[in-house]
Each structure stands twice: as structure tokens, then as C-alpha cells.
Amino acid sequence: MNLKPCILTFCLFTSLFSFAQKGGKNKLWYDKPAKQWVEALPVGNGRLAAMVYGDPSKEKLQLNESTFWSGGPSRNDNPDGPKVLDSIRYYLFNENYKRAQILADQGLTAKSLHGSAYQNIGDLILDFNDLKEVKNYYRELDIEKAIATTIFTSNGITFKREVFASIPDHVIVIKLSSDQKKALNFTAHFNGELKKSVKAIDANTLQMDGLSSTLDGVQGRVKFNALAKFINKGGKTQVSGNGISVSNANEVLVLISIATNFTDYKTLQADEVSKSKKYIEAAQNKSFISLFKNHLAAYQKYFKRVDFNLGTSEAAKNPTDIRVKNFATTNDPELIALYYQFGRYLLISSSQPGGQPANLQGIWNNSNKPAWDSKYTININTEMNYWPAEKTNLSEMHEPLIQMIKDLSESGKETAKTMYKSRGWVAHHNTDIWRITGVVDFSNAGMWPMGGAWLSQHLWEKYLYNGDKNYLQSIYPILKSAAQFYEDFLIEEPTHHWLVVSPSMSPENIPDGHQGSALAAGNTMDNQLMFDLFTKTKKAAEILNINSDKIPVWNNIISKLPPMKIGRYSQLQEWMGDWDNPEDSHRHVSHLYGLFPSNQINPFTTPELTDAAKTVLLHRGDVSTGWSMGWKVNLWAKLLDGNHANKLIKDQLTLVEKDGWGSKGGTYPNLFDAHPPFQIDGNFGCTSGITEMLLQTQNGFIDILPALPDEWKNGNISGLKTYGGFEVSIVWENHKAKEITIQSALGGNCRIRIPDEMELRGKTKLKKAEGKNPNPFFETPEIKEPMISSKAKLNSIEIKNGLVYDFPTEAGKTYILKMK
Ligand code: FUC
């Protein structure tokens, strides 16, 4: 007899009807059902998603499929671009910003298509009409196992519902059980606004077909097919109207499969009916236990790579929504660890290799007209979604974004040609599943031709982590083509003869006195992006030993980019002119891109710029939209100020009780980030930021505990990744690093900055670091001296004692440092 399934069955069974311990590490839990969407619990397998309400008498699973979007393959380039471009540039250099804006709206903003919307498949409803008098109610989302469970008693019977979305089996699985036989009686039906037909195709199977909406004049052409198969033990199932009724069952397994006709961003040729049927047919022959085992293995392969503990306290015994509500006034460090891991859970569940990248809501969306269409906003939000990917050891989850960038490098070529008569590829501030690359909404938000430049950083960044030259070879043409666009598009500005991007803006901010126009030339963030794009493309060419003829061209461009400027309020200037307003609390801090995610500004090599960046953050203030606070956690970590980063985490962990629009960001009861409304980037931004507090990789060395807040006295984190293929685990006690474990995948010099003296186990010795780090993955940029206003008063950022050592590593070996 095979013992393993037996043990698993036993464990599942014993835990089945007793939740002696409510909550615990890596669990969100509640003592009542979800009343609104932001209380429901998300499960997902990268493609399929469900929000589970856990309502005893009317269970609801709101469903999504990641390729179900409005419209169909489409483009939105404004062909009038070449007619207006020169005039817009002329007006910008002559300070007639309003005129430039008006012309951009006429000739550059898309004529009608502003992007498609990610849409909602609908709900599966399970009606348990005879369930009265619910007691001992409990529901949880176990993010270590990626399963949502609801348990309660009614009329002396204990009922249990378990839901997970399986990566390997392509279905959502629900198991309904009870501790008495024949106790399960319910009717089930599908419901969805975009349905075309809904019916029971046999006594065990529900089917819903539907079609996506027409939006901005683009005909909805995405078809979906959803199936729910009911496999009962005991009792019977029968067709009941459009639904199915189940009576007197001992246990019911429900398998949900959804598929669409989406093939790729240019094609809708798949057969959604046979696809969704195929998944059900393959899954229906497996037991719950075997489905669950497959699921667990696939999910935990990713999740378990990182473990994080900050200690626990009494507060952790409360339901999750109460913990968030009380967070500011209680000591609940475990909630930070939970929130951190929840970000990793969401990334694994919304971004799987071969699928779509996580959009503004990941894959969870209950609306057909979601906020900002739940598209990809690539002037910060999409990039932020992927900040945690490499560093929290979820490199595979980065792949859908890399694939999207490949797609955009194709679709964006036509945009470059049509709108600007340029070579290469360009993307503006938004895209969608059809990979549109034109200007959307209105020029004050959309006229930002830098989406491709920012996304391209992800291509290079991935290489710094994996060191894989084959990978670099595969993405190099995209980098080169992105650079090629700007070779043509950059123009010389009249005063200093710098090469600048024009027209553009500093997303999505409007300088005072600019007649309400955001349009400007040579904005700080654009210059920083240009510096990164050209230096990294050049580096890639050098590593691959190709295109040596391009190196002088790129060097020349780099030398003519504007330097960063420090303005009259001692601030890093957001624009070429000293236009910043210290009272401005705008959510975007675009010019701080240079501090994070880029490393052009850092306390070690550019202290003046770092101080000027800090001044910007102080001017902007802390509380803002969710994603803005998520960004600021990273920024304060890069300023080596753990206490301020921790303050931002507290601001983010402020309960926003109700779904919908609002002005102050925070966290919903189900730990979703509140922009508000729900936007997933804040979750991912915070997970990245917490990592940056504990480990940084960008400043030429591996920086251990660079921004540890006073409140995080003891803790440990394992499995984080750095540039150069190192995997790092840290244990700290009384704010001191006690043990650091470093695994080297690629070998090479390991330069490490540690807070206190430590010793390396074994024969290898630590050597005081001197000069440049010989490990090429840790190369830091050489940037121009800033221009500083005579009115600016600058201080230095405090760099607390840190000791920087080198030691050689061999690929495949592990090194342990211990406290002395
Ligand atoms: C940008 C931001 C908004 C929002 C939207 C999706 O426009 O300025 O705050 O995040 O993207």
C-alpha cells in the first residue's frame, strides 16, 4: 500500500472539520462571510481567477479569465503625428505649453481607441436554501497552500468548502463536504452580464457562453466558454431550469474550466469550447487529493523559496481585517510578514509563464468597465507589479511581462513609423491585451513616449539576476530597437544643446504656471530613462561582442543628455526648468525613478542628489494612493531610512473598509491594495519595498539590512535573490546580523556590506573591499555632475556604519557568515 496518499488523506481529514487554531502564519482569516468584493478571497492560476465569498447560504465565486478583454486585435496610432510634431516641439521650446497641448490632443492623441477593458466572466452561484442558523463560522485563505476554506455548522452539521485554482490542471477546484452523510443540498447556476447563453448541458454540467463588449468603436470579439462539472458522492444531480440541483450528496467536487478564442494579440482563432472541455475532461478523472497534490507541488515550488518572520504577538490572534484596522495602534509585526508574502502569493497566482502579465488588478476584476479599464499603465503601475519578481525569487513570474515587451516591440514599430517617422519601437503610457502603443485618454496623461524605455529596463534587470548570455542574446534586439527609436526621436534643445525627449511630460504632473499643460521637453525622468536605456544597450552589445559600430553613436548620445539638476528649494528638479512647487503632493514621484528603481542616485556615490531626492519626498509627503505609498517604501529604503519606510508601510496598512473610489490609499479587508479603488500595484510595491529594507543589490555590493527599522528587532528572511546570481538568507537579533547564508549560482566576487563585524565559515577569508567591484553584475553607473542652483542648501544622507568586504565565490557553493 502506498502510504503517502494515505497520510495526506488523514491530514486533510483531521483538519477537515476542526480549526482549533484560527489563523496562524501565512493565513488571512475572517469570522464572517464576505459582504463585498474586497472582502472576498482571491485564488488564481495565472489564467483563471476566482473571488470566493464564503457565504453559507449563497456561495459565490466571481470568475475571471485573463484573456477575456473587450474589443479585438486593434491599433490606435494617430496618423496626423508627423503633421504636428515639429510645431509642438517649437511651442514647447518657446514656452507656449497650452498650444503644444492643444496640438498634441489633435494630432497625437488616439482618434477614438483609448484601449480595451479587462472584463468579468461572471459568477458561479451555489444556493443552499435550507441552510439556517449558522454557527462557528470561519473562513481563511492559506497563502502557503493557495487554498481558500470556509467552515461552519448549521443544524448540528459541520460544512466545509475548499477552493483552489490549479496551475497544472488548468481548472478551479471546489470541494464541498460535511461531517454527516447526505447533508449537501443545493442548486447551482452561472450568471454573467456578458453571457450569450447559459444552460445545463447534462445533469452534471453547467455551461455559459459569452462575448466581450464593444468599446471605443472596436467590436467585441473575444468569446468565452465556461463549464462547471459537478461530481457527487452519494445523492443525485439533476437539471433544474438553467441550473443543476444536487440533493442528499455526501460530498461534491466542482471543477470550473473557462477558455476563450484568444490565440495571441493579433489573432482570435482558438476554439474556446473544445479548450475548456479538454481541461474538464482531463481533470474529472482525478481525485480531489490528487488534484490538490498537483496544485500544491506546482504552487509551493515558487512560494516556499522565501520564508520571512518578524515575530508574532497577541494581535495576530485577531481576524485579518481587525488586524489591519488596529495596526497603527498595536504591535503586530506578523501582519507585515503576511502582507509581504501575500504580494508573492498574488504574483504567483496572477502571472504564470506562457500567460498574460498581471494588469492593474492582477487578474481579479468584477466589472466590465473597471477603473482605467484594468489595463496596463506603463508609466509606473505595470513596472511596479514586477518589482518583486526577481528579488523575491519568482523569476519565472517575470516571463509574461518579458513576453509582453517582445509583443510591444513589434506593435510599437508601426507606431514609431506612423506617428513620428522614426525607426525602432515606441510605447506610450498605456497598453492592453492587443498591445496598443498609441497615445490614450488625453495628451496630459498619454503623451509620454517612454513606456518602451521603462519596460526595457526589465529586460536588462533580468539578465543581471540570471547572468544568462543566451537570454541576453534573445532580448538584445528589443533593447537595440528601443534605443533606435530615441536615436531618431531625441532633439537638441536650444539653450544648452542637450538631447531631449520632446514632446513628453513628467507623468502625470503639471508644473505651476504652464496653463494647465503637462507637456514639456527634457524632463528629469525621461533623461534618466534615456541614460539607462543607452548605457544598458551599449553594455549588452559589449557583452555579446556585437554592433561595435553603434558604441560611438550611443556614447555620443549619452554625453549629450541633460545632467540632473538641483533647484532653488534644494529639490531634485522634476523638469528642465526649476518649476517645482514644494507644496505639491502629487502621487507620482517620477523624477525619483533615478533613486528607485534605477540606481543613478544613491547615498554612496551621489550624496548631493540623494539629499535632493530626499527633499522631494519630504515635500510630497507620505500618505497618497496605494501605489504611491508602495513606491515610497522602496524610496525611503534606498535612502537607508528604515523607520520612514516602516512609517509608509503603516500608512499603507490602514484599513479602507469600503470598495470604490476615494482619495486616501490603504488596504482593504482582504489585503488588496486600495488606490482606491483596488489596484494591485500597491501590494507588489510594498513587497518590493520590504525586500529593499532588508537587502539591496544595486549600489555595487550586496547590502545587508540597509534600512532595518527600530521596530524590527529580531527576524529572519531566506531565499532572496541579488544581481550576479546570489541567493541570500539573513537572521538578525537585536538589530544585528547574526547569520548570513549566501549561495552562489554564477561564482565571482561577492562584495557585501554588513552592519557589524562577522566572520566567514571555512577557509575563505573576508577581505576589506577596495576600488571597483570586479564582479561585472555589480557595475554602477557613472553619471554627470548635477547642476546646482545657487539657492540650494544640501546636506548628506547619513550612512550608518557599514563594513564592506570581498570574498571569492564558486558557482554552486554556499557561504556562511556568522556574528563575531
Ligand atoms: C495612473 C495614475 C493613477 C492610476 C492609473 C491607473 O494614471 O496616475 O493614479 O494609478 O494610472
What is the DSSP track for 125-187?
Answer: EEE-TT--SEEEEEEEEETTTTEEEEEEEETTEEEEEEEEE-TTT-SEEEEEEESSTT-EEEE
Interior angle at CA 250, CA 246 and CA 251, nearest 5: 80
Which 3 state secondary structure label does DSSP give 448? coil
Distance 314 CA to ligand 1 centre (A): 37
Write the CA distances from 433 to 120, 122, 408, integer angstroms. Answer: 15, 20, 10
Average pLDDT over residues 235-240: 97
pLDDT confidence bin for 795, thresholds 50/70/90:
confident
The per-residue pLDDT for 17 is 58
Cα Rg, the chain, nearest whole Å? 27
Domains (ranges, CATH) in the chain?
Answer: 21-70+116-304 (2.70.98.50)
Assess whether the C-beta atom of 508 lies below 6 angstroms from ligand 1. yes
Distance 816 CA to ligand 1 centre (A): 44
Assess whether the C-beta atom of 602 lies below 6 angstroms from ligand 1. no
pLDDT confidence bin for 389, thresholds 50/70/90:
very high
Each residue of 795-812: b (16+ CB within 10 Å) or e? eebeeeebebbbbebeee
Assess whether the C-beta atom of 272 lies below 6 angstroms from ligand 1. no
Threshold 0.85, pTM exceeds? yes
Segment 196-232, tens digit of pLDDT = 999 999 999 999 999 999 999 999 999 999 999 999 9
In this structure, of 122-131, 283-292, 403-412, 648-657, the range with the lowest mean pLDDT score is 122-131
Assess whether the C-beta atom of 625 lies below 6 angstroms from ligand 1. yes
Write the CA distances from 30 to 41, 317, 471, integer angstroms. Answer: 10, 11, 44
Distance 814 CA to ligand 1 centre (A): 43
Distance 92 CA to ligand 1 centre (A): 25
CB 195 within 8 A of CB 92: no
The per-residue pLDDT for 21 is 66
My answer on whether omega of the bond before 503 falls inside 30° of 0, hence cis, is yes
The residue type at 176: L
CB 675 within 8 A of CB 371: yes
The residue type at 538: K
Q: In ligand 1, which atom is closest to the CA atom of 588?
A: 8
Distance 199 CA to ligand 1 centre (A): 39
pLDDT confidence bin for 18, thresholds 50/70/90:
low
Closest CA to 640 of 413, 748, 798: 798
9 has pLDDT over 50 = no
Distance 379 CA to ligand 1 centre (A): 8
Cell of 211: 462575448
Percent of the chain with pLDDT over 70: 97
Which residue has the CA at smallest separation from atom 10 of ligand 1? 381
Sign of the CA dihedral with 370 first, then 373, 376, and 381 last: negative
Average pLDDT, the chain: 96
Cell of 493: 534643445
Distance 587 CA to ligand 1 centre (A): 9
Return the H-helix or E-strand segment holding 629.
Answer: helix 626-638
| Among 360, 361, 372, 624, residue to substitute to test ligand 1 (most atoms within 8 Å of Cβ) | 372
The per-residue pLDDT for 798 is 79
Average pLDDT over residues 586-612: 97
Pairing of strands 726-733, 736-744: antiparallel
Distance 672 CA to ligand 1 centre (A): 16
The per-residue pLDDT for 668 is 98
Assess whether the C-beta atom of 360 lies below 6 angstroms from ligand 1. yes
Each residue of 533-549: b (16+ CB within 10 Å) or e? bbbbbbbbbeeeeebee
DSSP 520: B
The per-residue pLDDT for 7 is 42
Rounded Cα distance, 5 and 818, in Å: 41
The per-residue pLDDT for 797 is 79
Assess whether the C-beta atom of 177 lies below 6 angstroms from ligand 1. no
Burial class (CB in 10 A: 0-12, 13-18, 19+), 129: exposed
pLDDT confidence bin for 361, thresholds 50/70/90:
very high
Average pLDDT over residues 507-512: 97
Average pLDDT over residues 497-503: 98
Assess whether the C-beta atom of 518 lies below 6 angstroms from ligand 1. no
Assess whether the C-beta atom of 587 lies below 6 angstroms from ligand 1. yes
Segment 298-341, tens digit of pLDDT = 999 999 999 999 999 999 999 999 999 999 999 999 999 999 99
Assess whether the C-beta atom of 372 lies below 6 angstroms from ligand 1. yes
The per-residue pLDDT for 707 is 97
Percent of the chain with pLDDT over 90: 95
Cell of 252: 461534491
Assess whether the C-beta atom of 429 lies below 6 angstroms from ligand 1. no
The per-residue pLDDT for 8 is 43
Query: In 10 A of CB 36, how many CB atoms?
Result: 15
14 has pLDDT over 50 = no
Q: In ligand 1, which atom is closest to the CA atom of 625?
A: 9
10 has pLDDT over 90 = no
The per-residue pLDDT for 20 is 52
13 has pLDDT over 70 = no
Assess whether the C-beta atom of 377 lies below 6 angstroms from ligand 1. yes
Assess whether the C-beta atom of 381 lies below 6 angstroms from ligand 1. yes
The per-residue pLDDT for 129 is 86
Distance 175 CA to ligand 1 centre (A): 39
| Among 373, 439, 454, 508, residue to substitute to test ligand 1 (most atoms within 8 Å of Cβ) | 508
Q: In ligand 1, which atom is closest to the CA atom of 360?
A: 6
Average pLDDT over residues 459-483: 98
Query: In 10 A of CB 607, how many CB atoms?
Result: 16
Q: In ligand 1, which atom is closest to the CA atom of 628?
A: 9
Each residue of 572-602: b (16+ CB within 10 Å) or e? bbbbbbbbbeeebebbbbbbbbbbbbbbbbb
Distance 370 CA to ligand 1 centre (A): 13
Distance 358 CA to ligand 1 centre (A): 15
The per-residue pLDDT for 19 is 57
Distance 94 CA to ligand 1 centre (A): 29
Distance 655 CA to ligand 1 centre (A): 21
Q: In ligand 1, which atom is closest to the CA atom of 372?
A: 6
Distance 106 CA to ligand 1 centre (A): 23
| Among 374, 377, 679, residue to substitute to test ligand 1 (most atoms within 8 Å of Cβ) | 377
12 has pLDDT over 50 = no
Assess whether the C-beta atom of 172 lies below 6 angstroms from ligand 1. no
259 or 1: which leads in pLDDT: 259
Return the H-helix or E-strand segment holding 252.
Answer: strand 251-260
Sign of the CA dihedral with 67 first, then 69, 75, and 80 last: negative
Q: In ligand 1, which atom is closest to the CA atom of 507?
A: 8
Distance 431 CA to ligand 1 centre (A): 13
Cell of 141: 485563505
16 has pLDDT over 60 = no
Distance 381 CA to ligand 1 centre (A): 7
pLDDT confidence bin for 15, thresholds 50/70/90:
very low
What is the DSSP track for 763-811?
Answer: S---EE--SS-S-GGG-----PPPEE-TT----PPP----EEEEEEE-T
Which residue has the CA at smallest separation from atom 8 of ligand 1? 508
Q: In the chain, count of helices (H) and strands (E)?
A: 19, 35
Contacting residues for 55 by C-beta, under 8 A, at least 6 apart: 33, 34
Rounded Cα distance, 104 and 80, in Å: 10
Return the H-helix or E-strand segment holding 554.
Answer: helix 550-559
In this structure, of 281-285, 516-520, 800-804, the range with the lowest mean pLDDT score is 800-804
Distance 665 CA to ligand 1 centre (A): 12
Contacting residues for 20 by C-beta, under 8 A, at least 6 apart: none
Average pLDDT over residues 251-255: 98
| Among 375, 376, 381, 684, residue to substitute to test ligand 1 (most atoms within 8 Å of Cβ) | 381
